[in-house]
Structure 1
């Protein structure tokens, strides 16, 4: 793998990793649906400009039903649910919870294709969930934490990660061969359109502040627009099994940005992150190698941002 591709993986993981903190900051002013709408909309603007400059193509109209489904589960729901969950869950914990995406994706893929998991894969799944549980327990043991709010936030974020997995499974089955920039642009634009009427009919921001506005711009332009471009550029030049390194780095970046924001992190959380990464590595290395005519397994190739 060339140094520039390693640098792009590092940059991509940092862009996605900081998204968890930006979501928490944006959610201090903007209701969850507004965070999802503004993030999708700003990301779509950047990618549509890039699409026009580079001459990329939008997906054909006949794919609209599948595009709507992917936009719903890959953007509209997760973007809003992460903002909802992070009202009570710290950004570093949300980053670790996001590591369940490849686990859900693998389980859904195996259910759809009716394939069996090997012993190593089962162990990888169990180890991954054990690591997530350690991080969650480290937070739940804080006596200052409202347990009911924490549990609700965790459930909401896990539903968001399940949405990512559903979208990945649909995209692998129905949206193969499409222009990647066009696909990403259409997803974000459709998600923004879905959320506009919901945002209009629900709670509006009570005031505006510079920091949350900047967080929204970072989420849209960097966490969605730039990150999508880097991700698909990497997939075009290196194997998807190498791009999976991004998934391993996200919990680490989540902890790092949480420290920058002075979030409290228990020592057990560090151990949990290492356990999560070990489970993901075991899952990835235990998967069967695809034949030359097959796409790499979507099990751990995360094609969505946090």
Structure 2
């Protein structure tokens, strides 16, 4: 990759890692539904003119059904789940769980689309699961004061990302990726609008919360999507997915610097094992040849 592409990759990871920080700051004052409505609605307002300038608005109504499904599973539901989890778990913790998204995508592809998984990919899935166990060890309590439900919400969010990725592959193949990104934010905003109105906070959130919302919507969502698809165009999807490995680094970094969050040994160990499993499952990390040639079938 060119130095410029590497720089864009790092900036993108910093933006997406920052999204967990901004949700952590804004969620207590806005509540999950109102916060995410603002996130996806404002992001759609930024992305729609870009899509119109490219002349690719037509898929928004020609593919309304599939885009609505993607809007729910790739934006509305997982974003709300992460925002709700942010009330209980740290930004760094949530960003690490987010790194399991490619693992869930591979698992859903195996179960639903009957994609073949190599032995290396299977080993990666099991390794990623082990990483999750290490990460949540001591946290997954469902008693009062425990973070068990917040952990479950984070994992449910990444499962939704995995479903959305495979649905896109099956039903939106050939559609402009920027149209998918824009449509997902637009339809997510439509779905969440009544819930946001119903659950709108009674007290006006403070300046810090509003600043977090604006940065979350415009920088971490709108600008980040544009950068992501620029990277895919320049270096290809296989290299662009490397951003997955950098997001937890920035998630933990921003949380530690700006919110005084503690980075625990469990977080570092779980992060390392999850990323190793993700690397094997996605082929970024090459397994030994004898392991790689053994094929599994779903």
TM-score by length of structure 1 reads 0.87
Cα deviation for residue 287 of structure 1 reads: 9.4
Match of 1:259 among 236, 247, 256: 256
Cα deviation for residue 282 of structure 1 reads: 1.5
Q: Secondary structure at the match of 1:214?
A: helix
Match of 1:214 among 201, 211, 216: 211
Q: Is the 8 A contact 1:92 1:254 kept in 2?
A: yes
Q: Is the 8 A contact 2:100 2:278 kept in 1?
A: no
- The residue aligned with 1:73 is 73
User: Which stretches of structure 1, 4 residues or more, deviate above 4 A after TM superposition?
Assistant: 138-141, 145-148
Q: Over residues 165-215 of structure 1, what are the superposed CA-to-partner deviations in whole Å (9 max), with x where a residue is unaligned?
A: 111111111112222222222211111111111112235342310111111
Q: Is the 8 A contact 1:124 1:280 kept in 2?
A: yes
Cα deviation for residue 47 of structure 1 reads: 0.8
Q: Secondary structure at the match of 2:63?
A: helix
Q: Secondary structure at the match of 2:201?
A: coil
**Root-mean-square deviation over aligned CA pairs:** 2.1
Q: Over residues 207-231 of structure 1, what are the superposed CA-to-partner deviations in whole Å (9 max), with x where a residue is unaligned?
A: 3101111111111101110111011
Distance 2:144 2:239 in 1: 38
Judged with a 3 Å threshold, the aligned counterparts in structure 2 of structure 1 residues 232 and 55 are, in CA distance, closer, same or farther, namely: same
- The residue aligned with 2:91 is 91
Q: Secondary structure at the match of 2:99?
A: helix
- The residue aligned with 1:47 is 47
Q: Secondary structure at the match of 2:117?
A: coil
Q: Is the 8 A contact 2:14 2:247 kept in 1?
A: yes
- The residue aligned with 1:229 is 226
Q: Number of aligned residue pairs: give it.
A: 285
Q: Secondary structure at the match of 1:28?
A: helix
Name whichever of 17-26 and 252-261 sits farther off. 252-261
Q: Secondary structure at the match of 2:154?
A: helix
Q: Over residues 28-50 of structure 1, what are the superposed CA-to-partner deviations in whole Å (9 max), with x where a residue is unaligned?
A: 20110011100001111111132
- The residue aligned with 2:10 is 10
- The residue aligned with 2:270 is 272
Distance 1:22 1:134 in 2: 26
Cα deviation for residue 284 of structure 1 reads: 2.1
Q: Secondary structure at the match of 1:88?
A: coil
Judged with a 3 Å threshold, the aligned counterparts in structure 2 of structure 1 residues 188 and 126 are, in CA distance, closer, same or farther, namely: same
Name whichever of 116-125 and 88-97 sits farther off. 116-125
Judged with a 3 Å threshold, the aligned counterparts in structure 2 of structure 1 residues 266 and 41 are, in CA distance, closer, same or farther, namely: same
Uncovered stretches (5+) of structure 2, i.e. residues with no partner? 287-298
Q: Is the 8 A contact 2:96 2:248 kept in 1?
A: yes
1:247 matched to 2:238: no
Distance 1:7 1:205 in 2: 42
- The residue aligned with 1:112 is 112
Cα deviation for residue 60 of structure 1 reads: 5.2
Judged with a 3 Å threshold, the aligned counterparts in structure 2 of structure 1 residues 245 and 41 are, in CA distance, closer, same or farther, namely: same
TM-score by length of structure 2 reads 0.89
Q: Is the 8 A contact 1:120 1:286 kept in 2?
A: no
Q: Secondary structure at the match of 1:113?
A: coil
Distance 2:178 2:115 in 1: 31
